[in-house]
Amino acid sequence: MEILFEDKSVIVCLKERGLLSQEGKEGEPTMLSLLSAHTGGEIYPVHRLDKEVGGVMVFAKTKKAAADLSSQVTDRTMEKEYITVAEGSPEEKEGTMEDLLFFDRSKNKSFTVKKERRGVKKASLSYRV
């Protein structure tokens, strides 16, 4: 695990593909367990990346930093940028894709849905090839 930045409140690191961001099965390594072992203290997740995705992640080392960073995620003042490698190419060289997402707590998974209803959030992705 590569640590890009660390101070008394925050740790920024590179998550490898195949590694869970947060809790997993007992004994399974996760970013939280690796960072906790590295720092010798508690680590608080601020956001997550799916297991299959690698990239830069921000974690808090204090409850106050976790609350402050989580507020930035919620009010969208923390900017996230995704770069991907894909097979094929969209016809348009840039654009926006929109969908409706529903998080099913019983399956701990998000699904696309066709209609707005309680618990459904709009998702928007701007892209440039």
The catalytic residues are: 50
What would the two tokens of residue 58 be? 């921000």
87 class by beta-carbon count within 10 Å (0-12 exposed, 13-18 middle, 19+ buried) = exposed
Q: What is the C-alpha to C-alpha distance for residues 36 and 41, in angstroms, rounded to an integer?
A: 5
The torsion angles phi and psi of 54, rounded to 5 degrees, stand at -110, 155
